[in-house]
Amino acid sequence: MTSICILGSTGSVGVQSLEVARSLGLKVSGLSAYSEVELLAEQARQFGPAMVGIGDVRAEARARALFSRMSTPPELFFGPEGVSQVAAAAEHDLVVNAIVGFAGVWPTLAAIDAGHDVALANKETLVAAGSVIMDRARQEGVAIRPIDSEHSAIYQCIQGQGREAVARIILTASGGPFIDRYDFADISVAEAISHPNWNMGPKISVDSATMINKALEVVEARWLFDVDSEMIDIVVHRESVIHSMVEYCDGSIIAQLGTADMRTPIQYALTCPERVEGLAAKLDLSSIGKLTFEKPDLSRFPGAGLGHEALRHKGVVPAVMSAANEEAVRLFLHGAVRFVDIVDLVMEAMESSPRIEEPSLDDIVEADVWAREFVRGRCRSCTR
């Protein structure tokens, strides 16, 4: 039986990964979360992992008290180091990384170094440190399987095809909740986190609303599929039925379609190249009627173009883009900046970013810290 470890198990993708693991009858050998220890303990009770990581050291006392009440408590590990130890444990066949943000980079590398294939939902990791991660994965001979719905679609569309035959990757974008909105002043947090098609966590919902999500996904695709940024196009497809497409040199386009349910890409990452009965509702094409496609409006959504921009600058600029965005979104969710400030702050950070050719992981970590400080510094002069 396959044993999987799920990092970030209390988040949206983590919870759905556990649902999929249960339906596939997989053994769960490890779990981790940042600070939601109550839900984590409940998951541990249901799935019986041998080891559990808790990223936030401040949650240690609370976690110890909760887990000590279990009849067979798992071994507990604390702090970022602890989460990496869980990721690296020998008993996993596959590590699902559903951690949100750059913090996911260490456990990803720990899992790769331990020789585990990684199912990656943690897009910030690839955006910031794609070259480091993919190089390391190649050296260790491990597979990085995408969970992000677009990249899962592309991954499915390129099965059995040679890389040389790929002419273009077409990333679809729902456009988010504000696709028909022209006045972005006074957008509330509640409005920004209510995505029309997908059920996702708050960070990625805001990214979808600013369309910076597509910028992150362009960089993610560049690394996952080893393509130049000029080969990656974004097309707005409001229905979220086609999850992305690959155009081949002969002009054929292969697309992956399905209902907008993250459990489908999660399951494919766990079973590929096999396919088994899934949990998502089946697509009823005739009830959908038609599919529409439009160019992204970069004047209203400049965030969508930042991935290509970041890749043109290379070096640490993609890491700066992602970290500045993480910080700006965090400030927005706390009411410290306006919705319209998010993309401005990210663009300012990218313009002022240090330029480093072929950065090491240390350079990337430094750039990440720099970008967050830059955004916090600018925030003092934000309007609210």
> Which positions touch Mg ion (CB under 5 A)?
148-150
Kindly state the DSSP code that residue 7 receives in the 8-state scheme. Answer: E
Q: How far apart are CA 10 and CA 263, in angstroms?
A: 15
Q: How far apart are CA 315 and CA 292, in angstroms?
A: 36
Q: How far apart are CA 200 and CA 209, in angstroms?
A: 12
Closest separation between CB of residue 236 and Mg ion, Å?
Answer: 14
Whether the CB-CB separation of 321 and 349 falls below 8 Å is answered with yes
Q: Which is nearer to Mg ion, 3 or 17 (CB)?
A: 17
Closest separation between CB of residue 358 and Mg ion, Å?
Answer: 28
Q: Which is nearer to Mg ion, 214 or 378 (CB)?
A: 214
Amino acid at 239: E
Q: Which is nearer to Mg ion, 110 or 153 (CB)?
A: 153
Residue tagged 């729902």 (tokens):
174
Q: How far apart are CA 71 and CA 115, in angstroms?
A: 32
Amino acid at 80: P
Closest separation between CB of residue 150 and Mg ion, Å?
Answer: 5
Residue sitting closest to Mg ion (CB) = 148
Q: Which is nearer to Mg ion, 214 or 372 (CB)?
A: 214
Q: How far apart are CA 86 and CA 78, in angstroms?
A: 10
Closest separation between CB of residue 219 and Mg ion, Å?
Answer: 12
Closest separation between CB of residue 160 and Mg ion, Å?
Answer: 23
Q: Which is nearer to Mg ion, 31 or 262 (CB)?
A: 262
Q: How far apart are CA 75 and CA 380, in angstroms?
A: 43
Tokens linked to 368: 């990440």
Q: Which is nearer to Mg ion, 197 or 229 (CB)?
A: 197
Nearest to 117, CA basis, from 138, 86, 136, 93: 93
Q: Which is nearer to Mg ion, 124 or 363 (CB)?
A: 124
Q: Which is nearer to Mg ion, 82 or 176 (CB)?
A: 176
Q: Which is nearer to Mg ion, 148 or 341 (CB)?
A: 148
Closest separation between CB of residue 353 and Mg ion, Å?
Answer: 24
Closest separation between CB of residue 151 and Mg ion, Å?
Answer: 7
DSSP annotation string for 234-283: EEE-TT--EEEEEEETTS-EEEEE--S-THHHHHHHHHTT-----SSPPP
Tokens linked to 95: 């590590």
Closest separation between CB of residue 360 and Mg ion, Å?
Answer: 28
Closest separation between CB of residue 343 and Mg ion, Å?
Answer: 18
Greatest Cα pair distance, the chain, in angstroms, is 62
E strands, the chain, are 3-7, 27-33, 51-54, 75-78, 94-97, 117-120, 144-146, 166-173, 232-236, 242-248, 253-257
